Amino acid sequence: MARAIDTEAVALPAGAYDWRRTIAWIDHNGNETERARLRGLLGRPRPEAKVIRTLEARQNDDGGFPSELIQGRPSSIDTTALVLRWLQDLGTLAGAVAQRVVTYLFTVQRPDGSWDQPPGLVRYGPPPRLLPGDSRVQALCTAQAAYWLVLLGHRHDHAVSRAMGYLRARQAADGRFLGYIRTTWMAAALFRCTEGPGSAVCARALDALGAVEAERWSAGALVGMLNCMAEAGVSTRVPVVRQGVARLRALAEPTGSWPSEDGEFYRVEVSLRALRVLLLYGAVSEPMSEVEGPQDRAGEPASGGGAS
């Protein structure tokens, strides 16, 4: 089961959220891969071999995963990061699929330390957030790629330090990084993982995230941000995390699921990530049996199924 990292400072109103409803809802509405991820989150010791084989079949020869997982398309940083999240839920980040992803990430890093979406993606009409050549997209791709290299055990590699230099130059005075708010929370987690709790870059980014009005945090954004914070060891003593966990619980629907701003198709994905966050932060209706505080592993990222 995903391990809780901190149980302090989160007030859990009785009856406000029952995680067993989430489990039942995902089990009923999820596809085969999603149900396998659910079992991984709940502590299944062995990965689902059929699911892993299916993902292996979709992996491009360069080690990345094609945009939107459509065969024939070039490997996309965004889709590759999404699949890594799935592998994490399944507990197989140490497997061959993830290791081929590492090779891909090292290979496609740009000379300035950044990553970008592949130029060939343009022909498929990607949305603005995936458009290659856009400096905002490059900053996001760089935060994503470096963050996952750290989680995959390469925190001391020169590729990561180059990426951090690139990102450091793109942090504004208010703490935000260039472009999308998603870049800010991923970069914050990256610097926290590599520089530890005393990272000034991370502290400024957390302040920027904390300045975002609560109403602007959708369920999808919350689970993305909170997963990264949990993996970086940021506890609920930090206001943006404490408030985010409370808001996430409040956004749960009576079914135990969460809505997605991207449509009903993504409701199961958001709900899986939400469950993962609440397990990691011990914010479920039953206490976790094992608790590890961030202060006990200063800046060390979680890995495998025990770590968005």
| Boundaries of every domain in the chain | 19-306
pLDDT band at residue 255, thresholds of 50, 70 and 90? very high
Helix axis angle, 19-29 relative to 267-280, nearest 10°?
Answer: 150
Q: Pick 215 or 304 by higher pLDDT.
A: 215
User: Which residue's structure tokens are 């859990």?
Assistant: 12
Model pLDDT for residues 256-296, shown as the tens digit of each residue? 999 998 888 899 999 999 999 999 998 875 533 333 333 33
Its pTM stands at 0.88
Residue 215 in this model has a pLDDT that exceeds 50:
yes
CATH of domain 19-306: 1.50.10.20
pLDDT at 10: 45
Over residues 208-223, the mean pLDDT reads: 96
CA dist 120 and 209 (Å) reads 33
The residue among 189, 137, 128, 118 whose CA lies nearest residue 160 is 189
For the purposes of burial, counting CB atoms within 10 Å of the CB of 241, is it exposed (0-12), middle (13-18) or buried (19 or more)?
buried
Over residues 175-201, the mean pLDDT reads: 98
Q: Pick 300 or 86 by higher pLDDT.
A: 86
pLDDT at 1: 60
pLDDT at 295: 33
Model pLDDT for residues 221-241, shown as the tens digit of each residue? 999 999 999 999 999 999 999
pLDDT at 140: 98
